[in-house]
Structure 1
Amino acid sequence: MKDNYIPLRVNRDFGEIISVYFDFFKQNIKNFTNVFISYNGLFMIGLLIASYLLVSGVIGLIAFETNNNSFSDSMGFEDNYYIYLVIGSGLFFIIFILVAILNYSLSTSYMIKYEEKKNNTFNKKEVWAFAKSQLGNIVLFILLLIPIYLAFMIVAIMMAIIPILGMFAQYIVQFFVAAWIGVSFFDMLNKQKGAIDAFGEGWRLVTKNFWKSVGVNFILGLLLGLLLMLTLMIPGIILGIYTFHVVENDVDFANSIVTTVVYTIGTCCILITAVYGQCLSQFVNGILYYALHEKTYNEHTRATIEQIGLND
């Protein structure tokens, strides 16, 4: 594996970062997926439950509106469907936040271990142990994201007032914030520093390389989105065919167990794919971080030159 090792601490230009990302993705997709499944099993069960509640609520409300009648107890059933939706949405939101924290940490720790070991044969427990050792900083980092996202939302609303140009400016700010947060989080774990110091370092690295950071997040975000859409085509086609069957054959979907199971599994697949996409997006900023850090500090280059001098 060392012969296939992809050095990450290299100053790369825009095109090289994109190329290396996909090389890293192809080489590590199997091993990282194993890590992902190992530490997300409980959350996947939670997502399945949330999917069931959401599907039950939506199907119930559609059936209620379709077959609305004057029975006195009909409002009670409608309230139950809304309760399913509220509980399902709340459960999904909580799980999504927890999973985002977990997988941002796992994907970052995985890349750090890969660079440290110069291969991907390390134990998955090492990835978890490294992430767990930084738990305090990770929690503080997440808490600091709250005012950051609130500020971003205010800026986004102000830009939405400006026609056309405001939309483009909003996307630029969005990808800048994504790069800043991703690079800062990576610096915090890689250098084992405090969250505030990491945000400061991330800001310096990204602002000095503004268009490269924005461009990398835009292009790879777009490509990853297309990749995830292709991944969802199979469950999407199955759901589409089944929906056509339900409509054409006038199936009583409100009381059909099969309908609930099919839509629950389909919804769960979509949610899990969205969660997995978070990890892949952090790999983007991991490679970007190494490139920007090396460009700024030349640590790896100096270490290589010093090593050559010692060998001579």
Structure 2
Amino acid sequence: MKDNYIPLRVNRDFGGIVSVYFDFFKQNIKNFTNVFISYNGVFLIGLLITSYLLVSGFMGMIAQESGYNSFGGGNEFEQDYYIYLGIGGFLFVIIFLGIAFLNYSLSTSYLIKYVETRDNTVEKKEVWELAKSQFGNIFVFVLLLIPIYFVFIIAAIILAIIPILGIFAQYIVQFFLTAWVGVSFFDMLENKKGVTEALGEGWKLVTTNFWKSVGVNFIMGLLLGMLLIIALIVPGIIIGVYTFHVVENNVDYSHSIVSTIVYTLGTCIVLIIAVYGQCLTQFVNGVLYYALHEKTYNENTRATIEQIGQNE
């Protein structure tokens, strides 16, 4: 056992979960980022291509509306931006689903291996092997999320009709859903359960500790959101300054390679940070899962007591 290992199989209160998450985050951020980059290379290239298509499409649309023609080859090209937007939008959906599928698995597998090896230098191959071994269940899990989120959207629309209270209720349902899905996913990979069995166990753990689960996801979602905004400050300033330059100097952005590069890279960075933020959110539910599971079953506590008895 490494001296710097942070035990996660502990029954913690609300503040303890938040505190230990940031301790884990500081300790593992470098190693997990290496795992993230290693297995997301193809998807990151895909996001760059998608960003280019979306930016080209939007720039063409804006240029046409403002009197520029970025596709200056005659009438046959005047609607080309619709093609760029259509292809870019389609690729975005496919790639984003693939990234969600992969990174939900990687972040969960990483935390499981961290607990298993009691070491913050988790091998990326071990993370990948664990995720790969469960791809069948993961795929079914993702498919089941489609009707689950469809029901949530309907509920959110209904709640939005209710003044004030409906807004609060909508957020409560949202963070409950995030906790339930995240905890269930962890239970599925941790204990190699079937999808419906894991969803049932996750429902039990989260509903039994409803306000703790909702509160942790709310607070950590807020803090992580602020962290991601901070990460976007530098590229945001660069894009803002460049946009000001374009407007003030009446730059023909529809024919500018620099404009295309700046906005493409900016869009790609935003998408990558959003994907990375998804992994950090799943870490939250991993820490929450271990706390709720230990509170419910006391497995680690009983094992520690038995070990003490044997030593005596």
Give structure 1 regions of 4+ aligned residues with deviation exceeding 6 angstroms.
none
CA contact (8 A) 2:187 2:198 kept: yes
Structure 1 partner of 2:22: 22
Q: Secondary structure at the match of 1:122?
A: coil
1:254-293 pair list within 5 angstroms: 254-293=254-293
Aligned residues: 310
Structure 2 partner of 1:298: 298
Task: Give yes or no for the alignment of 1:137 onto 2:118.
Answer: no
Structure 1 pair 113/68, CA: closer, same or farther in 2 (3 Å)? closer
Distance 1:155 1:310 in 2: 53
Distance 1:273 1:145 in 2: 23
Structure 2 partner of 1:121: 121
Deviations 1:130-175 (A, max 9, x none): 0000111101111111110111111111111111111110000000
CA contact (8 A) 1:61 1:78 kept: no
Structure 2 partner of 1:164: 164
1:121 Cα shift? Answer: 2.1
Distance 2:152 2:250 in 1: 47
Task: Give yes or no for the alignment of 1:79 onto 2:88.
Answer: no
Unpaired segments of 5 or more residues in structure 1?
Answer: none
Structure 1 partner of 2:233: 233
1:74 Cα shift? Answer: 6.3
Q: How large is the Cα RMSD of the aligned pairs? A: 1.4
Structure 1 partner of 2:250: 250
1:211 Cα shift? Answer: 0.2
Deviations 1:175-198 (A, max 9, x none): 000000000000000001101000
Structure 1 partner of 2:206: 206
Task: Give yes or no for the alignment of 1:63 onto 2:63.
Answer: yes
1:93 Cα shift? Answer: 1.0
Q: Secondary structure at the match of 1:140?
A: helix
Structure 2 partner of 1:148: 148
Q: What TM-score, normalized by structure 1, do the two folds share?
A: 0.97
Letter in 2 for 1:82: Y
* Percent of aligned pairs sharing the same letter: 73
Distance 1:68 1:124 in 2: 49
Unpaired segments of 5 or more residues in structure 2?
Answer: none
1:76 Cα shift? Answer: 3.9
1:90 Cα shift? Answer: 1.1
Structure 1 pair 203/75, CA: closer, same or farther in 2 (3 Å)? farther
Pick which of 212-221 and 86-95 moved more.
Answer: 86-95
Structure 2 partner of 1:105: 105
1:248 Cα shift? Answer: 1.1
Q: What TM-score, normalized by structure 2, do the two folds share?
A: 0.97
1:251 Cα shift? Answer: 0.9
CA contact (8 A) 2:110 2:122 kept: no
Letter in 1 for 2:296: T
1:212-231 pair list within 5 angstroms: 212-231=212-231
Structure 1 partner of 2:195: 195
